[in-house]
Structure 1
Amino acid sequence: MEIVIRAIVVFAFLWLLTRAVGRSTLGELSTFELVLFIVMGDLVQGAVTQQDTSVTGAVLAVGTFTLLTVGLSWLAWRWPERLRFIRGEAVVVLRDGEPRMKVLADQRLSMADLVTSAREQGVRRLSDVEIAVLETDGRISFFSYESEDADGAPDSGPQAA
């Protein structure tokens, strides 16, 4: 039972940590960040299971993390308006070709990141973009003027921040 309690505490800490780190950082990891997260994973394992290397201890720890993850996803699905903080919200980072600098700063997203993401999606000039949205998973979606009705964009778009 002690493993389950430690797993819940560590899970809550990791959830808060990922919310604090921000979406743009989680979208793509550098080599150093990947190594850092792997080391953090080992440290977390030690904190959750301590000296318990049994199969039962591992199953309890992984099972607790899994149940908490599925539970949070279900809660966010069941009450999306009330629990928006679990997944976050998509935000508009560029409108009518103009970057929204305050939003970029709030999301810790640099202009270089925005331009790189645009280039990766075949956007040559930001001035050709009607709207760019930082999605909840850290990716950026670009919608150009010419694809206004044919892009398959959802009707309920992101909220402007």
Structure 2
Amino acid sequence: MNEYLDIILRSLAVYAFMIVAIRLSGKKELSQLNTTDVVLILLISNAVQNAMVGNNTSLSGGLVAAAVLFTLNFALKKLMFKSKKLRDLISQHPEILIHNGKLNFDKLSELDITNEELEEAMREHGVERYKDVKLAILEVDGNISIITGDEHLKQTQFKRKRKHKSLGDLN
């Protein structure tokens, strides 16, 4: 088989695997990377490099693999724009946390969002009480958006900080 066709097919396989792996991991906070996330991304990129280019460590081999990844990404975005089914399969969706002052405890628990995080987001928006929140949404990028019925309150986005348990919390 042609070595460049081999690189194209390998890159396609790795790209498809990564899309499925990220989707299945349920990451809603990709924009909120911490140190371990950065290390994971670096290690994954190193691990899949050889899977894409094989023994070809030439500049042209690397450029072919990169070109394939850019092309696949462009094509996938175009297909997702045109196909709701594909978009629903691959993309995450916003989640309603509060509707008309009523907390969705099941969704908050499922997403591991604490009262403190929700209250912090409300304070960032100038809201004191849950009952004043018309709509609180966990956006696909990890932000919590708060909408109130009060036109004078600030309507901004709150970046959710992920909480990690310390070793003391495990005991």
Are 1:131 and 2:148 matched, yes or no? no
Does 2:88 correspond to 1:84? yes
* Count of aligned positions: 149
Name the residue aligned to 1:144: 148
Aligned-residue offset at 1:14: 0.6
TM-score, scaled to structure 2? 0.72
CA RMSD, 1 decimal: 2.8
1:34 aligns with 2:43: no
Question: Which residue of 2 is the match for residue 44 of structure 1?
Answer: 48
Alignment correspondent of 2:121: 118
Question: 2:76, 2:102 → 1: CA distance?
Answer: 35
SS in 2 for 1:92: strand
Match of 1:74 among 78, 87, 97: 78
Are the structure 2 counterparts of residues 104 and 27 from structure 1 closer, same or farther at C-alpha, using a change threshold of 3 Å?
Answer: farther
Of 10, 20, 24, the residue aligned with 1:20 is: 24
User: Structure 1 stretch 33-42 or stretch 126-135: which is displaced more?
Assistant: 126-135
Q: For residue 155 of structure 1, what is the aligned residue in structure 2? A: none
Aligned mates of 1:9, 1:126 — CA distance in 2 = 49
Cα separation, partners in 2 of 1:82 and 1:21, compared to 1, 3 Å: closer
For 1:143, the aligned partner's letter is: I
SS at match of 2:57: coil
Structure 1: unaligned runs, 5 residues or longer = 152-161
Bigger Rg over Cα: 2
Structure 1: which 4+ aligned runs deviate by more than 6 Å?
none
Return 5+ residue gaps in structure 2 as ranges.
156-171
- What percent identity do the matched residue pairs reach? 23
**Structure 1 pair 65–145 and aligned structure 2 pair: CA distance change class (3 A):** same
